[in-house]
Amino acid sequence: MRAARALLGIDQRRLAELSGVSLPTIQRMEASEGNVRGVVTSLTRVVEALEAAGVELIGEGARSEAGGRGVRLKSPSPRP
């Protein structure tokens, strides 16, 4: 989640606004060790918000150049 936020240039508060999930919930999710933990509905809302903002989440076993899980932008943002 932190990597996705960094790619988008947003803070936890903005992610909470975009997803409709409370700021403390975002903070708890990011504080999780290993896999992000939380209520499935909240996790789904966060994932949907990140994807709508332009982030592609890479699941375990999904095709990626490095071969692991991760996050990448769906398409590069135009540079000024």
The pLDDT assigned to 78 comes to 57
| DSSP character string of 16-74 | HHHHT--HHHHHHHHHSSSS--S-HHHHHHHHHHHHHTTEEEE-TTS--TTSS-EEEES
Residue 36's pLDDT band, with cuts at 50, 70 and 90, is confident
Residue 76's pLDDT band, with cuts at 50, 70 and 90, is low
The correct CATH number of 2-73 out of 3.50.50.60, 3.30.1240.10, 1.10.260.40, 2.40.50.140 is 1.10.260.40
Residue 66's pLDDT band, with cuts at 50, 70 and 90, is low
pTM of the model: 0.74
The pLDDT assigned to 77 comes to 60
Q: How do residues 45-56 score in pLDDT, each as one tens digit?
A: 999 999 999 888
